[in-house]
Chain A
């Protein structure tokens, strides 16, 4: 593997995407606040986008398709963040806390 031309090889992008996905899942399990989980979810979105872009540039016959896909992923991430944050604010108004441990009203 030629380090000088590492940016022209697909390997490092794919490994980096796997690393981002792993950190996202790690944070999703470890975090105990809703916003921390949301941030980990954004990392997972980024991992998927990077994977799409790498394979789009190195293996796909249509270079525009992957970019449009990533654009759609960004739009979905923005929509998801808007909804999740409004839910978090509504939860904070009702419970005066956003610790997921306190949100156990349905837990008999």
Chain B
């Protein structure tokens, strides 16, 4: 990395801090009982992922992750939480069924995690011999406007349709009753 030996230790510490943030955030997001804490867990998780993107040499996507996920997605979810009181009702008599579902979910999750980890650790990921570009923001911009211009236009169309659709769906019944 650099000539300073302590810089490597600092980078490693920051990296593992990002990994721990991601893991803890994801666990809070799925395990918290209050839904508002769950949203906060998603925010923490996205912050950790943004740090990981930085380590993957993509500061642009790290910024976008914070901007879109924390700034837009989580805030929108929070608005809905305030509008619709979604807290789970105190679990009535279906205690056994809940435990059963929890156990089944844990089994499925553990199986996915174990299987995918084994698969990805067994694979041999050979680095590419030649790089087409350097992956900078400039290269991303050039690719967006040349190779991927069609997908770029389509995603803007999808966002437009999503905005109009959200307005149409949420609009009726706004009258005070």
Decide if the interface of chain A is mainly helix, strand, loop or mixed. Answer: helix
Which residues of B are found within 8 Å of A7, using beta-carbon distances?
A: 11-12, 15, 55
Which residues of A are found within 8 Å of B151, using beta-carbon distances?
A: 68, 72
Which residues of A are found within 8 Å of B101, using beta-carbon distances?
A: 29-30
Chain A residues 10-69 with CB under 8 Å of chain B are: 10-27, 29-36, 38-40, 42-43, 46, 49-50, 53-65, 67-68
Closest residue of chain B to A54 (Cβ to Cβ) is B56
Shortest Cβ distance from A73 into chain B, in angstroms? 10
With A35-B35, A82-B76 already in contact, the answer to whether A74 and B64 are too (CB < 8 A) is: yes
With A6-B16, A26-B109, A42-B42 already in contact, the answer to whether A61 and B81 are too (CB < 8 A) is: no
Inter-chain CA distance A16–B15, complex, in Å, is 13
Name the interface size band of chain A.
35 or more
Inter-chain CA distance A93–B170, complex, in Å, is 9
Closest residue of chain A to B154 (Cβ to Cβ) is A72
From B88, B106, B125, B132, give the contact of A32 (CB < 8 A): B88
| Supplied contacts A16-B23, A83-B169, A90-B170, 13 more A-B pairs, CB within 8 Å | A3-B12, A13-B56, A23-B27, A29-B104, A35-B81, A40-B30, A59-B127, A67-B60, A68-B148, A71-B61, A71-B140, A81-B77, A98-B84
